Amino acid sequence: MEKRPLIIRITAFIALCVYLIGCTSTAETPVLTVAQITSIMSPVPSKTVPPTFTVGISTNTPSPTMTASPTPTSTNTSTPVPPTWTPLPKLSPEEAQAKVMELIATNGGCKLPCWWGITPGETSWEQARQFLTSFSEIDELRENVYIVNYFVEKENGLVVSSFATISTGEGLVQEIEAGVYYPLDQVLELYGQPDEVRVYVDNQSIDKLAPFVIALYYGEQGFLANYGGRTEKGEINQICPNVIEGRASVWFLWSPELEMTFDIAGRKELLFVSPSDRRFRKVEQVTNMDARQFYEMYRDPANLSKCFDFKVPKK
């Protein structure tokens, strides 16, 4: 895999501006096939043992496993010495793409907020970095914030770049932002009713159609999912979940130990600079549904074509 100049990799960060902000980027959100969706969205056992990171493609030969090799210590001292992680071999471009597609399909065998086997608040950054560098490029965006660049092969054979950002603290991964499209109904079915469902429509957009975002906030589980699409402008907007665009799907994941309200998570994910500049209304404020009714309606894929009216309340 040819290493890209730093300026090109940093430019990818611009794509973190979500769909509503209007930035453009060549990076795309991977869209899963039916088989991949079935795999990733299937319930998995509760975490009892941290996932083991391996590299390489699934073959009959076991892949090398990341293991910690303790640094030799003198017998004259009892001072503990932190383990050092053995670097993993760099995969070839073909192996790296296959590894990424495997991770997109399986998510490393874990549920959100875990991403590719990396769990905020549990996985050390050193461990995660050793794993990720075997098939991606990592740049330090600023102190304790890193951008992970990798490549995805689309169905038409075109290889495109994509990325995630990881924030660290106290030696651990604390927050992850990534874009992979998981269908709305599948998320609702697997993770249950969101703590909050919020909707925003940009009727002031210069585009012919008004962009909208449906935000699912799972505060206790530690993630915020955003689905974007477009609708006709007007005093009342028709929001149709079946027109959600995969490239407008963004996920923000955090350690459940962190106190992360919707407003805090939204600022970190660049949904808005402050909650007042883009008002994400609770679904019960602007529709004839509450969060429970939204959940019951759209967990059924047969209902995704059923639109709901969005009307901003008068001040």
pLDDT at residue 44 tops 70: no
| Whole-structure pTM value | 0.73
Lowest-pLDDT range of 47-51, 87-91, 104-108, 216-220: 47-51
Higher confidence at residue 59 or residue 45? Answer: 45
Outline where 19-133 has alpha helix (H). 34-40, 93-106, 125-132
What was the pLDDT predicted at 298? 97
| 155 assigned to some structural domain | yes
- Which residues make Cβ contacts (< 8 Å) with residue 23, sequence separation at least 6? 14, 15, 17
Which position has the token pair 């503990």?
A: 80
Local confidence band at 275 (pLDDT 50, 70, 90 cut-offs):
confident
Local confidence band at 282 (pLDDT 50, 70, 90 cut-offs):
very high
pLDDT at residue 59 tops 90: no
Lowest-pLDDT range of 75-89, 126-140, 141-155, 294-308: 75-89
Closest to 186 in 3D by CA, of 246, 133, 259, 247? 246
| 10 assigned to some structural domain | no
| 148 assigned to some structural domain | yes
| 235 assigned to some structural domain | yes
Say what percent of the chain tops pLDDT 90: 53
What was the pLDDT predicted at 272? 82
- Most confident of the ranges 3-17, 28-42, 77-91, 242-256: 242-256
Local confidence band at 315 (pLDDT 50, 70, 90 cut-offs):
low
Local confidence band at 217 (pLDDT 50, 70, 90 cut-offs):
very high
Higher confidence at residue 223 or residue 278? Answer: 223
* Alpha-carbon Rg for the chain in angstroms: 21
pLDDT at residue 82 tops 70: no
Label residue 154 exposed, middle or buried (CB < 10 Å: 0-12, 13-18, 19+).
Answer: exposed
- Determine the residue type at 303: N
Query: Per-residue pLDDT averaged across 149-165, rounded?
Result: 81
Task: Please say whether the beta carbons of 302 and 185 come within 8 A.
Answer: no
pLDDT at residue 56 tops 80: no
Kind and range of the H or E element at 247?
A: strand 245-254
| 136 assigned to some structural domain | yes
Lowest-pLDDT range of 48-62, 105-119, 269-283: 48-62
- Most confident of the ranges 25-29, 246-250, 259-263, 268-272: 259-263
Task: Please say whether the beta carbons of 21 and 202 come within 8 A.
Answer: no
Which position has the token pair 């100049």?
A: 5
The Cα–Cα gap between 224 and 113 comes to 9
Strands 281-282 and 196-201 turn out to be: antiparallel
- Which residues make Cβ contacts (< 8 Å) with residue 77, sequence separation at least 6? none
| 181 assigned to some structural domain | yes
What was the pLDDT predicted at 237? 94
Outline where 15-166 has alpha helix (H). 34-40, 93-106, 125-132
Task: Report the DSSP beta bridge partners of residue 54.
Answer: 65
219 is in which domain, residue-wise? 19-44+88-310
What was the pLDDT predicted at 265? 94
The Cα–Cα gap between 231 and 237 comes to 7
- Determine the residue type at 258: L
112 three-class SS: coil
Task: Please say whether the beta carbons of 130 and 87 come within 8 A.
Answer: yes
Higher confidence at residue 157 or residue 241? Answer: 241
| 14 assigned to some structural domain | no
| 219 assigned to some structural domain | yes
Task: Report the DSSP beta bridge partners of residue 167.
Answer: 145, 175
- Which residues make Cβ contacts (< 8 Å) with residue 73, sequence separation at least 6? 79, 81
The Cα–Cα gap between 234 and 250 comes to 26
| Count of domains for the chain | 1
Q: Average pLDDT of the chain? A: 77
- Determine the residue type at 159: V
